[in-house]
Amino acid sequence: MLSGVTVWLAEQGPTVSVVSRRPGSFSSCSDPGRIHLIAVDYRESDILRRCIAEAITVHEPIGLAVFWIHSDAPEAFEVISDEISSHAKEPWLLCAVECGVPVS
């Protein structure tokens, strides 16, 4: 689900930064350069913070971030939001993907 949302967003035009504990396959995007993968175990807050800062240094300030955080990392949302905000030069968008309701 995370890769599907990420690829769809990237194909709409913006560059998408995706935080993923399991990188999976984001290669189905027609322009894979539009996806910046931050592969990190987001349960480790200090490592997560460092990886986001490194991604911003390498690429650019993040304008659109997508992630799917499981309940075993309750502080990850705040860490991601705070780190991106501390480097932001303009408004940015954070999309949290969650699938908790069965679809019939």
Domain harbouring 43, CATH code? 3.40.50.720
pLDDT tens per residue, range 24-81: 666 666 666 888 889 898 899 999 999 999 999 998 899 999 888 888 888 999 999 9
Q: 91 pLDDT exceeds 70?
A: yes
* Owning domain of residue 6: 2-96
Q: Is pTM, for the whole model, over 0.75?
A: yes
Residue whose structure tokens are 């999976």: 24
The domain total for the chain is: 1
- The distance in angstroms from the start CA to the end CA of the chain is 16
Whether residue 87 lies inside any domain: the answer is yes
Whether residue 83 lies inside any domain: the answer is yes
What one-letter code names the amino acid at 68? W
What one-letter code names the amino acid at 10? A
Whether residue 32 lies inside any domain: the answer is yes
Whether residue 103 lies inside any domain: the answer is no
- Which H/E stretch holds residue 16? strand 16-20
- How long a stretch of residues is the chain? 104
Confidence at residue 81, expressed as pLDDT on a 0 to 100 scale = 93
Whether residue 78 lies inside any domain: the answer is yes
Residue among 81, 91, 100, 90 nearest 19 (CA): 81
Whether residue 102 lies inside any domain: the answer is no
Confidence at residue 28, expressed as pLDDT on a 0 to 100 scale = 65
Q: Give the angle 66-16-14 at the CA atoms, nearest 5°.
A: 130
How far is it, in rounded angstroms, from Cα 61 to Cα 56? 5
Whether residue 104 lies inside any domain: the answer is no
Confidence at residue 46, expressed as pLDDT on a 0 to 100 scale = 96
- In the chain, the percentage of residues whose pLDDT exceeds 90 is 33
Q: What is the DSSP letter of 52?
A: H
